[in-house]
Chain A
Amino acid sequence: MSTIVKKVSQLMAGLIFMYGIYIILHGHLTPGGGFAGGAILAGAFILLILAFGSSALKLKKEVSGSSNTESLAILVVVVLALMALLLGSKIFFFNYLPKGEAGALLSAGVIPLYNIFIGIEVAGAILTIFLALVIFKEESSK
């Protein structure tokens, strides 16, 4: 891609990444949440990859990293849900942390934690699918 596209995407990618983190962290206060924020995070990475391009070897490292990240994130979600059983409740997905004051950033118990890890999982999954397609194209055109 041309220098203009590279520079502009370099400037925008950070802003898009910050916006995704904001959407995830405020998921229990404003519209959005894990799914929307995760898709936005993946969009920032995809913008950079589209603008700069990369060799298949480098991308393979990235795809193994993103697929490991999403596997770990979904494991953490299940463990967080199972923690309620350890703490004496018999309900899967029990909200065991103190709920705090409604409307504050640190409130709603475990819901922000679920939001964060679901967001990481969604970002990893979308990025993995995109990278797998790009690697397939680069390897088959050789």
Chain B
Amino acid sequence: MELSISIILGFMIIGAIYALHAKDLLSAVIAMGIVGYGLVICFLLLKAPDLAIVQIVVETITLVIMVAVVLDSTREELEVPFDRRSLLNRIAGFIIFAGLFYFFLLAIQSLDPLGMHTMRMADPYVHGAVEHTGSVNLVTGVLFDFRAYDTLGEAVILYTAALGVLTLLRMKGKK
């Protein structure tokens, strides 16, 4: 399973790099679709169908919106001239990347192997969810009972996002 996930992750990285360097913005958007749908297959392989359903629907909707935006504006990428300032930005970006990668390597050595993590907090959740909440689907039991505050916060975030879009995209102000 680790091998197949690694192959899909490789495809996702190739898609992301192509999306950065594509001349045509429409093909960049399609290449971003590879990243999203690759993530769906990763979720399915890691036995998380709940996340996979959400990811496949949200990915499709955002892809449709992004394609509409690209078709409506322009398909050519903006040319940025290469000068001293962009060189400085690239050097700073590389230094930050190297630092983060070093700490990532340090952190990954203290992790447990894939699928063998210690479940101190999750153990009572997993084994007590059915009798405490009555929900057979453990994910829903955790989302709406043990961690209901989390769900309320997520719903409020979505609500605020919709309000923000409505407010920003008004053509005429109200008197």
Contact = CB atoms under 8 A, between A and B. Distances in A.
Contacts of B137: 27-31, 33
Contact of B140 (A77, A115, A125): A115
Q: Is the interface of A mostly helix, strand, loop or mixed?
A: helix
A107 B134 contact: yes
Contact of A31 (B50, B144, B151): B50
B148 A81 contact: yes
B54 A39 contact: yes
A111 B61 contact: no
Interface in B146-175: 148-149, 151-152, 154-156, 158-159, 161-163, 165-166, 169, 171
B137 to A, nearest CB: 5
Interface in A99-114: 99-100, 102-103, 107-111, 114
Contacts, number: 143
B86 to A, nearest CB: 32
Contacts of B143: 33
Contacts of A40: 53, 57
Contacts of A115: 140, 144
A104 B131 CA distance: 14
Interface secondary structure of B, over-half rule: helix
Contact of B165 (A46, A102, A132, A140): A132
A45 to B, nearest CB: 11
Interface string A112-129: 001100100110111011
Given A28-B141, A102-B130, A136-B169, A39 B61 contact: yes
Contact of A74 (B61, B64, B156, B171): B156
A108 B72 CA distance: 47
A40 B134 CA distance: 26
Given A78-B152, A109-B133, A129-B162, A33 B169 contact: no
A140 B171 contact: yes
A38 to B, nearest CB: 9
A103 B136 CA distance: 6
Given A28-B141, A78-B152, A111 B169 contact: no
B151 to A, nearest CB: 7
B58 to A, nearest CB: 6
B65 A130 contact: yes
B74 interface: no
The 8 closest A-B CB pairs, nearest first, are A99-B134, A93-B148, A31-B49, A108-B134, A28-B135, A39-B57, A36-B53, A108-B135
